[in-house]
Structure 1
Amino acid sequence: MKIGIFFGGPSREREISFAGGRTVYDNLDKALFEAVPVFVDSSGNFILLNWEFIYKGTIRDFYPPVSALPASTVPVQLYFESLGELSLEEQDSIISEVGRRLEPRELSQLIDFAFLALHGPSGEDGAIQGLLEWYGIPYSGSGILPSAFGIDKVAQKKLLKALGQPTPDFRLITAEDWDAAAPQATLDYLVRELGLPLVFKAPRQGSSIGISILREADVVQFATAIERSLFRKTVTQAEWQGLSDAQKISWLQRLVDIRDGIGLPVVLSSTDSLELLAVSSPLNEANSSAESNPKIIYRPEELLHALNERLAAAESVLLTSVEGETQVLVESFVQGREFSCIVVEDANGQPLALPPTEIVKGDEMFDYRSKYLPGLARKITPIDLPETCIQAIRDACETIFRTFGFQVYARLDGFIQADGTLFLNDPNTTSGMLPASFFFHQAAEIGLNPSQFLTYLIRTSLSARRRGGLRPVKLAALLARLDAAVAARAAGEQARIRVAVIMGGYSSERHISVESGRNIYEKLSSSVKYEPVPVFLTGSSADFRLYVLPINVMLKDNADDIREKIEHHEAGHEMHPILERIRREAQGITSTYAGPAATQPQRVTFDELAGMVDEVFIALHGRPGEDGALQQQLEQFGLPYNGSGVASSQVTINKFDTNRRLREAGLRVAEHRMAARLEWAADSESFFRGLEMQFPYPFIAKPADDGCSSAVKKIKTRAELEAFTRLIFRDQEELMPAEATTLSLGFKEEFPRKEAFLVETLIDRDGAAHFLEVTGGLLTHWGPNGELEIEIFEASEALATGEVLSLEEKFLAGEGQNITPARYATEATERQRISEEVKRELRQVAEILHIQGYARIDAFVRVRDNGAVEVLIIEVNSLPGMTPATCIFHQTALAGYTPYQFIDRILEFGKQRTAQMTLAD
């Protein structure tokens, strides 16, 4: 079957939709389905996307393409809508660089089924569902009416109230009411009616976008919350003029972020009379025929100019997103334990609630960042309650599923209070589909891996569409074909190559390692060649402990949750009775799509692992994994593995040794030295003065043997140096609050403890005409005579919004911007000349350090006025991150490798190396 995956779209959740669409694309069973990527841009154009763009980190990495971007002095990423009003021909020209436009009438000839990974308005509101029904194309999830109902929080609240279902009290504030009323009077009214705290929501948004909590009756905070939900922003003269030029750029970057800010385009108006400001621009002149027409600001530099001009005289201005909301849903705050529950149709078409997940956090809101970056909020499945309470949650969710007429699947969120009172709110007809989302996380509890779950949802959706009267004869034939193919797949399963995917560890990189490992597992599990076996490594450097994981444990939210489940099992605790009950209820599903599977972690020795698998993929980062210790163990048992060998790994794990070797070989690296705890403990003042004499502020301090931007800090003052030193040399596990504040550590940012850290000079422009940070991947092959050949990929340009590239920018879908290939020059020939020089230097690094398999090399590049190119190496990662959004997949795509093909070649290289070593022995 040809499965059209619809992803992207015009909503503020488009980045999560893009990442979710990629997850579906990768996890569809290749023996059953052919994936057809249909990217929907923010103007609603359907684009048959060239496959290589699916693996970009964000939509803005490829669309609009660089060739379509206007010249700008403001470093703010642009979406398609910031190009303004474009003709059909102009749009087609842009689309042709990433794929081709699809007319809706073409869809029925191109695809058999539409899998909808779209979110929010135009995705889960019935619009796309209606279009597909018009053309007779079956699609995933709920139909038109339940989808339209599922997007409208206000309609949902009214129905729940009418049915007597518990739901928080609420009031609506329209934009017109807000503009006309006095803020203090409105606040007093809401506090009187609903009490404190108050919850503010944008009624047609998801992913916690446009949500605020007001905990005290502060009119300024209240106005900010209302504006957040309306996607407005009042800017005062004092606020604006108090910012430096650099701070204005940072402020602008946050403002135009479609998730945390209001996005572009915007209308700028006076806050006293609400008269619209006419901003001088060719775009505005073309789009306005009368003085009364709104003057729309499309681009960041236009907005910057307008704010500077207007706020030189006016006390304040109002910015309003053209895609904002017209009302705000205000709810009373529910004090209780927060949960989320996926409900699916069972084999008989009846709702089946999967085990509800508790979202454990502090006082902070479960926001976009906490939802999608592993390790920030804990997700405990099932929620830690007595079985009767969990069953009450399931019963309530199944009732709402029936009441709202949902089909196939839905996600129900809610709270349970201490007295057992349940509040359900915000049903979603499309759940986030990232690898560790609730969607796959809960399905794993009944034994379905993502590939199997997607197959079941496609089959169930076909059945639901047929029940609804859509092309019943055609869909009956499709169902029969799919059922026969699923049965043949199960009956004729050939022996596949078994690959242990080792993930986790015990360092600050353990959560990213789990993300990498899961991605490798999912790429292999949907293939016809490999059968992956998830293995979790924990323990210590002196005692590696390996556990084969069942799928439900592998898909826990992060490494700490996985380790906790292992410890729970080893302590003798049985499976939660509710899980046993749900598994029995789901047997009609799992018997067809999954078959029998383990439900508990199993500890294994290296010897036992060698008897279970044919080879190993190490998805660990830093220590252990990249230091050669694990490789030594695997070699003892003849297990092929990915990446470099023992000796090379022992060098590249240590940034100091790596830099020293490269410098000795004549390559450029930063001035560096190790700063030891013993030296600091003996005489802290001499320790600090010594560093300051050798490294003028600002300089870089970081661990010598950790990656993933863990504790990499730009040190600008003595206070920051002292704070960094105390944190990295601390005795206790917890961070010291004062030092964490001094270093501006992010929420739940990890900071490892070490006996020494690396200090480096800050690499800067140094007068170069062009200066950029790049990261370049490589892949090695065996030549015809057994010689090692190194393939260097086009490097990516990494753009950091802060002082250093953050964890989120490297690994969180939709966060960072990696431009591939790097923009060394505007002219193509010159760009390629510089690229070849950079690749030549990166090849030298690989040769000097004896890198094998694959690797990622980070560097800065300076291009002088005379064209001279200087490459300054930062670090080498012998087992680079392999998360879905990582830029190494952007680079391999340019070279013609899909992620699966890249992983396949890595594994084949490891097998050939082991065969050569065996032959040599």
Structure 2
Amino acid sequence: MKIGIFFGGQSREREISFAGGRTVYDNLNKSIFEAVPIFIDSKGHFIILDWQYIYKGTIRDFYPPVNFLPKSDLPVQIYAESLKNLSDEDWDKLIAEVGQKINPSDFKKHIDFAFLALHGPYGEDGNIQGILEWNGIPFSGAGILPSAIGISKIAQRQLLQQANFDGPKSIVLNQADWNNQPHENIFESLKKELNLPLVIKAPHQGSSIGVSILTENDLAKFESLIQKSFFELEINKSDWDKYNYEEKISFIARLVDIREGIGLPVIIEEDLIYTPEELLNFLDKTFSTQKEVIKLKAIDSEDSLLIESFIEGKEFSCIVIQDENGRPIALPPTEIRKGKDVFDYRSKYLPGISRKITPIDAPQDIIEKIRTQCSDLFKALQIDVYARIDGFITKEGKVFLNDPNTTSGMLPSSFFFHQAAEIGLNPSQFLSYIIRTSLKARLKSGKHHFEFHKMIKQLDRDLEGLKKKAQKKINVGVIMGGFSTERHISVESGRNIYEKLSSSEKYLPIPIFLSGNEDQHELYTLPINIMLKDNADDIKDKIKNYQIHPIISQIKFESSEITEKYASITNTALKKISYNDLPELIDVAFIALHGRPGEDGAVQTELEKLNIPYNGSDVESSKITINKYDTNEILKAAGISVADHRLVYEDKWQSNREAEIKAIEQQLSYPLIAKPADDGCSSAVKKIKNRAELEAFAGMMFRPQAEFIEDLATILKLKKNEEFPQKNFFLLEELIEKKDAKHFLEITGGLLTHFTEDGSINYEIFEPSEALAVGEVLSLEEKFLAGEGQNITPARYTPESENYKKVAEQVKSTLKKTAEVLNITGYARIDAFVRVYEDLSAETIIIEVNSLPGMTPATCIFHQTAINGYKPYDFIDKILSFGTEKMKKQTIAK
């Protein structure tokens, strides 16, 4: 069955849709489905996307293609709606660079079924559902009517009230009233009716976009938040004039961000401004004429806002699905524990920022009450297949339901997969369930009845065939977690490897969680529901306090028909194991750990004792590359450029701080880079601009307790929940700058090794990606959060494409030499800066080597492997095959 995955779209949630579509593409069972990626751009074109673009970090990394972008010196990427004056012929040429444009009337030629991973307007509002129904294509999820209701928070609130569901008090604020009435009067009226805090919502947005909470009695703050939800902004001349050039660019980047800002094009009076550079020039020019205020408005804004009273209580989210007979089953509701009032975009999608507790921490009768009301709402809105329903439970036990979503986020650790795992379905199995149940739901329309029945029967035969397959698979132990600051990203990497392998016909992945400390590793096999907990700390906590909640047992019983039909392979049980148990359990290990342990050779040492093949470099090479100082020293001795560097030790710092600072300042000048010497993933990497920041960094690194020292954290501008390790030494490096180079950029380059016929190692160096940091250093979000970061692959060494190869070969030569000097095998990622001079000579300065690079869905190593023809699964297969062959050669050599 050809499954068209519809993703991207025209809404502000398009990046999460893009990432969710990639998850579906990767997890569809390859034995019975053929995935057809149908990308919808922000102008509404339907495009069968060439597969390699699916693995880009963001839509802007590939669309619009670089040769269609307007000339600009600003490091701010744009979406397709910023292109103006393109003819239909121009759009056809543009689209042809990334795939094949199709029209809805052509859908039947390419797909049998549409899996909708779209969010927001045009995706969850009945629009796409109507197009598909008109063209005879069955689709996933809810039909047209519940979708049209589900998109509008105002319509939802009215219907919930009419159906006697409890909810917060609310008032609709129309833009006409906002524009024509005194704001102070509106504010006073809202406070009188609803009290503080006020919850302000843009009614047609998801992912918490346009949602704010006003806690203080502050008119100016109230006006600002209302404007934010209307997607409007007033800029004052006095504020603009305070910014330097870099600050203006940063302001523009935030302003055009479609999730937090207005986006582009932007309306100013009667004119449209399309690009960041146009906007910057307009603001500079207009404010130079002494104009005091400029008003900006999004081209797609809201006409009304929903203002609600604040609910004191626990926030939850509950996925409701249907059984074989169409009866709704509410899965175990998940409690959301967040670091701030709003469960915002960053909290939702970056691991480690918030906590998801399943089931919600509440008495069983309260949990059952939540489930009953969610099921009742599912029926009241006539939703089919599945929905995600959000709400609150108050201290008094009242259930407030406030946001039924007919499409849930589909990232690997989203509520969608997280709760399905509680009944024993892995993502691949859950997607099969959604497709089959959606086909049955479409029969209700009375259209194409014979055709859809035929598809259901064929799918049932295919599902039954999966159970009968007795093919021996290769058991892969996917080791994830750890106890470093990189543990959350490690879990994301491990889950991604698990999901890529679980939908294959060759491998059977077994998730293994590593915990403990450097002296004693603790290993646990994980069932799918624990593996899909939100982050490493949640997994560790669940292992420590493991018990099957009675409500989970009940829901498993209620949904047993579903699990028997779709869970063809029994889940792994939670069990504490030792390294010595592994030979009976696995054939090969994929170490998805980052930092210590994992990249330091410790796990590799244990696996080698047991002759278990593994991915990545061997013990000795790993011991070197984990230490950035040792790596720098070895590369420097080999004639490879590195940053000037220095280690700072706690004992020296504490015994004679002044002398140590003086020695540092004699060797290195501000600004400089401070970082842990044996951690990665951007943990605690800071640009240090003065002595006060240096002392704050040392104070935080050498702090005696895990808790932050508040005044030092403030100096370093640390975010809440940001990972900042405690170490007894750290690394200082000179800040690498452009100097007299013509072009200067930061890159990250991947590699893969192969055995030649004579047994020697051949290095395949991928085309590196150019990484554009928004802040002072490349952040965790930019590396790993879907929709964040600006990675351009291949890197832009020069504006002239004809000069690319000459520079690229020099850079790749340095990366290869680096790998050879450090005896890297398997695969790796090397970070560097590149200076390109007038004569096209290139100097590559190596910054960091990762022997087990991040393998999260959004990481740029997959962009690079795609250029060489490897899908992520192919790349992982090559890594495992090399590791297996390497172990065979070592065993023979012994």
Give, as a single letter, the amino acid of the residue that structure 2 aligns with 1:9.
G
Match of 2:773 in 1: 800
In structure 2, the partner of 1:94 is 94
Amino acid at match of 1:752: P
For residues 226-241 of structure 1, the aligned pairs below 5 Å read: 226-241=226-241
Residue by residue over 1:832-852, the C-alpha shift from the partner in whole angstroms, topping out at 9 and shown as x without a partner, is 110011000100001000000
TM-score, L = length of structure 1: 0.96
Q: Which letter does structure 2 place at the counterpart of 1:179?
A: N
Instruction: Tell me whether 1:584 sits opposite 2:561 in the alignment.
Output: no
Partner residue of 2:47?
A: 47
Q: Does 1:737 align with 2:710?
A: yes
* Aligned mates of 1:446, 1:630 — CA distance in 2: 32
Counterparts of 2:695 and 2:248, CA distance in 1: 30
1:810 maps to 2:783: yes
Alignment partner of 1:492 is 2:469: yes
Amino acid paired to 1:514: V
1:913 to 864, 872, 886: 886
2:7 and 2:18 in contact (8 A); partners too: yes
Find the aligned partners of 1:479 and 1:339 in 2 and give their Cα distance. 34
| 3-state DSSP of counterpart to 1:303 | helix
The residue that corresponds to 1:642 in the other structure is: 615
Provide the secondary structure at the position in 2 that maps to 1:668: coil
Displacement of 1:663 in angstroms is 0.5
| Correspondence for 1:777 | 750
Aligned-residue sequence identity (percent) comes to: 58
Once the two structures are superposed, residues 123-169 of structure 1 have per-residue CA deviations (whole angstroms, 9 ceiling, x without a partner) of: 01000000000010000000011111110111111111112210111
2:273 maps to 1:297: yes
1: CA distance, partners of 2:802 / 2:596: 41
User: Cα deviation per residue 1:227-276 (whole Å; 9 max; x = unaligned)?
Assistant: 111100011111111212211111110000000111011111xxxxxxx2
Letter matched to residue 619 of structure 2:
V
* Matching residue of 2:811: 838
- Deviations 1:717-740, CA, capped at 9 Å, x for gaps: 110000000100111011111111
Q: Are 2:530 and 1:553 equivalent residues in the alignment?
A: yes
Aligned to 1:284: none
Equivalent residue, structure 1, for 2:499:
522
Aligned to 2:875: 902
Q: Residue 470 of structure 1: CA displacement? A: 2.7
Deviation at 1:600, TM superposition (A): 5.0
Once the two structures are TM-superposed, the CA of residue 599 in structure 1 deviates from its matched residue by 7.4
CA distance in structure 1 between the aligned counterparts of 2:339 and 2:52, rounded to whole angstroms: 40
**Which residue of structure 2 lines up, in the alignment, with residue 375 of structure 1?**
352
Cα distance, 1:435–1:95 mapped onto 2, change above 3 Å: same
Distance in 2 between the 1:136 and 1:164 partners? 37
Name the counterpart of 2:457: 480
Q: Is the 8 A contact 1:524 1:900 kept in 2?
A: yes
Q: Counterparts of 2:339 and 2:687 in 1: how far apart (Å)?
A: 29
Q: Does the 8 Å contact 2:510/2:572 carry over to 1?
A: no
Secondary structure of the structure 1 residue equivalent to 2:220 = helix
Q: Which residue of 2 aligns with 1:679?
A: 652
1:303 deviates by 1.0
Distance in 1 (CA, whole Å) between partners of 2:617 and 2:325 is 51
Alignment partner of 1:222 is 2:239: no
Shift in alpha-carbon separation, 1:489–1:78, aligned structure 2, 3 A? same
1:848-859 aligned within 5 A: 848-859=821-832
- The CA distance in 2 between the partners of 1:233 and 1:597, in whole Å, is 54
Equivalent of 1:719 in 692, 695, 701: 692
Instruction: Answer yes or no: is 1:246 the counterpart of 2:246.
Output: yes
Q: Are 1:874 and 2:851 matched, yes or no?
A: no
**Structure 1 stretches (4+) deviating beyond 4 angstroms?**
none
Q: Hey, what does 2:84 align to over in structure 1?
A: 84
SS of 2:721's equivalent in the other structure is coil
Return the match for 2:436 from 437, 456, 459: 459
Distance 1:469 1:742 in 2: 65
* Other-structure match for 1:764: 737
- Give 1:411's aligned residue: 388
The residue number in structure 1 matching 2:27 is: 27
Alignment RMSD, CA only? 0.9
- When the two structures are aligned, how many residues end up with a matched partner? 893
In structure 1, how many angstroms separate the alpha carbons of the residues matched to 2:346 and 2:155? 28
Partner of 1:150: 150
- Determine the structure 2 residue equivalent to 1:119: 119
Structure 1: gaps of 5 or more residues: 269-275, 277-293
- Displacement of 1:364 after TM fit? 3.1
Question: In structure 1, what is the Cα distance between the partners aligned to 2:407 and 2:50?
Answer: 25
Q: Report the Cα distance in structure 2 between the residues aligned to 1:375 and 1:448, rounded to whole angstroms.
A: 24
2:177 aligned residue: 177
1:621-640 equivalence runs, <5 A:
621-640=594-613
Counterpart amino acid of 2:786? A
Residue 3 of structure 2 aligns to a residue whose secondary structure is: strand
**What residue number does 1:356 align with?**
333
**Post-superposition shift, 1:551?**
0.1
From 426, 443, 459, the equivalent of 1:449 is 426
> Could you tell me which amino acid in structure 2 is paired with residue 800 of structure 1?
A
CA deviations 1:283-327 (Å, max 9, x no partner) are: xxxxxxxxxxx3111111111121122223222111000011111
Alignment of 1:401 with 2:378, yes or no, is: yes
Give the whole-Å Cα distance in 2 for the aligned partners of 1:109 and 1:868.
Answer: 51
Distance 2:569 2:641 in 1: 56
Aligned to 1:310: 286
TM-score, length basis structure 2: 0.99
1:559-597 Cα offsets, whole Å, 9 max, x none, are 00000011002xxxx311000000000101001111574
Hey, what does 1:863 align to over in structure 2?
836
Match of 1:252, SS state, is helix
Confirm or deny: 8 A CA contact 1:552 1:599 kept in the other structure.
no
Question: Does the Cα contact within 8 Å between 2:42 and 2:80 map onto a contact in 1?
Answer: yes
CA contact (8 A) 1:502 1:616 kept: yes
Q: Which residue of 2 aligns with 1:2?
A: 2
Partner SS for 1:267: strand
Q: 3-state SS of the aligned residue for 2:751? A: strand
Partner letter of residue 708 of structure 1? Answer: C
In 1, distance between residues paired with 2:182 and 2:82? 34
Partner of 2:362: 385
Q: Counterpart amino acid of 2:310?
A: F
* Equivalent residue number for residue 289 of structure 1: none
Q: Which ranges of structure 2 fall in alignment gaps of 5 or more residues?
A: none
Looking at structure 1, the residues matched to 112 and 883 of structure 2 have their Cα atoms a distance apart, in angstroms, of 39
Provide the secondary structure at the position in 2 that maps to 1:657.
Answer: helix
Matched-pair contact (CA < 8 Å) for 1:39–1:49: yes
